[in-house]
Amino acid sequence: MTIEIRTLTDPAEVRSAAAIFRTAMVGLPPISADVADGLVEPGRTLGAWLDGELVGGADSYTSRMVAPGGQWLPHAAVTHVGVLPTHTRRGVVSALLRHQLAEVAARGEIVASLRATQGGIYERFGYGVASVSATVELDRRRARLRDTVPPGGPVRYLDAGARWDALPKIYATGGFSWTGAIDRPEYWWRLQELVAAGGGWTVVHGEPGAEDGFLRYRPADADGWPRQPQRTVVVDDFVATTPAAYRGLLRHLLAHDIVDRIVFTFMPVDSPLRYLFTDERAVTVTGVADETWLRLVDVPAALERRGYRAAPPVVVAVTDPILPANTGHYRITGEGAIRTGDPADLGIDVASLAAVYLGGTGWRQLALAGRATELRPGALDAAEDLFATVARPFGGTFF
């Protein structure tokens, strides 16, 4: 049995890889060939051949990610990892992801991330859960904004012809500025256009030419809408680059008198939403799930370009069996991080380091699970202080 991994350049092979992914996922509907051609970045689709047959694939997009401290890191957005069910458990995924990591490193991309449909796969390739997201429900009938909440600005609808030009511009000029946010490539926007063709509305906040936020929403179930006992709107994308945009877009949702419930599919776990209402119980977190699975591809660069809080320095020993150039000792202070030959105060593997990198997971949490080892008393407390962030990390983009 020989597994061959190579970059797919022939359009027919790229379409076959897309079809394999959708077959592997089972619940995704097929898409036409002409649509599939515009959803992947040329040169970044890998195919896995087993005994001469294409049986698996993986994609990635050129992107950027915001690190703690505000720096943008070159980032590979990994997606469409799939293997035909007839060829699983033969090492195909392992061969694909190892090959992909080598290519990402060769491109000079410092980090990679993905959204996992199965949670038990990716840690062995160095990915760690670096952020989580919440599903939040708002009881519109009970939701009364506090009198202290300032007004927002003007909100207007966009028709289908205008939205896919306007939204990427709004997002790119200020939408992804929080820790964990990623750049949204053009291929991602094309997929959103395809999905949104089924219906829904888009509104933007701000004066024409100075928009600073948008939201996309749809009915949860349009069948029999007028007579439904619980008419529900689902918010698929809520981007506010200013507090005024946040308030203005929220007020727009609350103005729908026919709506009983509003569901926000992806929200930060530390969202301020509940604090805007006189009855905080109008807001309910109905679920929390892993969001960003992060891989530090270039550990020295990732640690160097992250911001840290003032705290006593620590020396961290990192192990990375897949990309061994990352293995080593790193001295981390409030001023930054450098390689060092000094003895280690803490030991950690690269997947666990990815979990704490954005500030969404604590060092003590990992130590409790045996995923981080304290080699000098007090080092865990120092690491907690160094890596702490004001807000929890959040991606906000599903890909």
Q: Residue 303 is part of a domain; what is its CATH number?
A: 3.30.1050.10
Q: pLDDT tens per residue, the chain (399 residues)?
A: 799 999 999 999 999 999 999 999 998 877 777 777 889 999 999 999 999 999 999 999 999 999 999 999 999 999 999 999 999 999 999 999 999 999 999 999 999 999 999 998 999 999 999 999 999 999 999 999 999 999 999 999 999 889 999 999 999 987 678 999 999 999 999 999 988 887 899 999 999 999 999 999 999 988 888 889 999 999 999 999 999 999 999 999 999 999 999 999 999 999 999 999 999 999 999 999 999 999 999 999 999 999 999 999 999 999 999 999 999 999 999 999 999 999 999 999 999 999 999 999 999 999 999 999 999 999 999 999 999 999 999 999 999
Does residue 259 sit in the same domain as residue 235?
yes
The pLDDT value recorded for residue 22 is 93
- 35-91: pLDDT as tens digits: 778 899 999 999 999 999 999 999 999 999 999 999 999 999 999 999 999 999 999
**CB 112 within 8 Å of CB 293:** no
What pLDDT is stored for residue 353 in this prediction?
98
Q: What's residue 175's pLDDT?
A: 67
Cβ atoms of residues 276 and 210 within 8 Å: no
pLDDT at residue 333, as a whole number? 98
| Torsion over CA: 298, 322, 369, 398 (sign) | positive
- 277 occurs within a structural domain: yes
- The order of strands in the sheet holding 328-333 is 336-340, 328-333, 314-319, 346-349, 372-374
Residue 197's pLDDT is 83
Model pLDDT, residue 31 = 79
CATH for 197: 3.40.630.30
Q: Same structural domain for residues 252 and 309?
A: no
User: Residues 252, 313: one domain?
Assistant: no
Are 184 and 279 within one domain? yes
Is 270 found in the same domain as 149? Answer: yes
- Half-sphere exposure (Cβ direction) of 43: Cα atoms closer than 13 Å: 5
Q: Is residue 76 part of a domain?
A: yes
Q: How many CB atoms lie within 10 A of CB 119?
A: 11
Query: Which of 49, 76, 109 finishes a domain?
Result: 109
Task: Say if residue 173 is in the same domain as residue 252.
Answer: yes
Range of the structural domain that residue 304 is part of: 298-387
**Confidence at residue 387, expressed as pLDDT on a 0 to 100 scale:** 98
Task: Assess if residue 344 is contained within a domain.
Answer: yes
Tell me whether residue 392 is in a domain: no
- The last residue of one of the domains, among 42, 74, 109, is 109
Same domain, 159 and 27: no
Q: What is the pLDDT of residue 29?
A: 77
What are the distances in angstroms from CA 11 to CA 57, 70, 317?
Answer: 14, 38, 44
Which of 239, 262, 289 is the last residue in one of the domains?
289
Domain identity same for 178 and 242 = yes
Tell me whether residue 123 is in a domain.
no
Query: Do residue 143 and residue 236 come from a single domain?
Result: yes
Identify whether residues 316 and 375 lie together within a single domain: yes
Domain assignment of residue 119, yes or no: no
- My answer on whether 306 and 355 are in the same domain is yes
* Residue 161: predicted pLDDT: 82
Q: Do 186 and 282 have their domain in common?
A: yes
**Structural domain includes residue 310:** yes
- How many domains are there within the chain? 3
